[in-house]
Amino acid sequence: MDPEEPIVPTIELEKVILRQLKVSDRDDIFEAYSDKEAMRFRRNPAPRTIQDADAMISRSILDARLNKAFRWGIEERISGKIIGTFVWKVENGKSESEIGYSLNKGWWNQGLMTTILSAMVSRLFEKENVTTLFAIAHRLNVASVRLLNKNGFVRMSEDREGLVTFKKNR
């Protein structure tokens, strides 16, 4: 079986294409995920080497095959570069699931994730068996908290480390 045969559906937006990650995206993934500022609020360890980026890509393909999680690479149309990812943790077809996202610092604050999140939330509610979405952001992650608020996610709880759980119903 071709390990790169796409399982993650391609989603075309105006400025970006969301698609399955490929081994050849390793340098772009490494660039986006090895930045300390961008990874400041990440809950899981960030890839620190090219090999870690390779492992992240392989895992994303395996997780999609297992129907565990779908991680889309965010490809900038004009350059073909992967500038971030968007993940949907399917949780074995449960109607409640979690999303996450990250962009290369060079593409922040241009409204990109606002467009992507809005499109992905609509898709998950309309085309997939999702009724409730969760997202977790640190309370000091101003951009992420603002992004969730403006997309209709409501604050549910905050843990001792300052991680806030947000929820949006269909």
Binding site for ligand COA (CB under 6 A): 38, 41, 101-103, 108-114, 137, 141-144, 146-147, 150
Calpha distance 59→37 (Å, rounded): 24
Q: Tokens for 151?
A: 């997309």
75 pairs with which residues across the strands? 17, 82
Comparison of 50 and 142: residue with beta carbon closer to ligand COA: 142
Q: Least distance to ligand COA from the beta carbon of 110, Å?
A: 5
**Closest to 16 measured CA to CA, from 104, 97, 89, 90:** 104
Tell me how far, at minimum, the Cβ of 22 lies from ligand COA, in Å: 21
Residue 104 Cα to chain centre, angstroms: 12
Shorter beta-carbon distance to ligand COA: residue 57 or 74: 74
- For the bound state, the minimum distance from the C-beta of residue 8 to ligand COA, rounded and expressed in Å, comes to 19
What gap in Å lies between CA 71 and CA 4, rounded to an integer? 13
State which residue, 117 or 130, has the beta carbon closest to ligand COA.
117
β 96-103/82-89 pair status: antiparallel
| Closest distance to ligand COA from the beta carbon of 162 (Å) | 12
Q: Which is nearer to ligand COA, 7 or 87 (CB)?
A: 87
Element (H, E) at 32: helix 26-33
Residue with tokens 């698609």: 19
Which residue, 7 or 119, is less far from ligand COA as judged by CB?
A: 119
Give the nearest distance from C-beta 97 to ligand COA in angstroms.
15
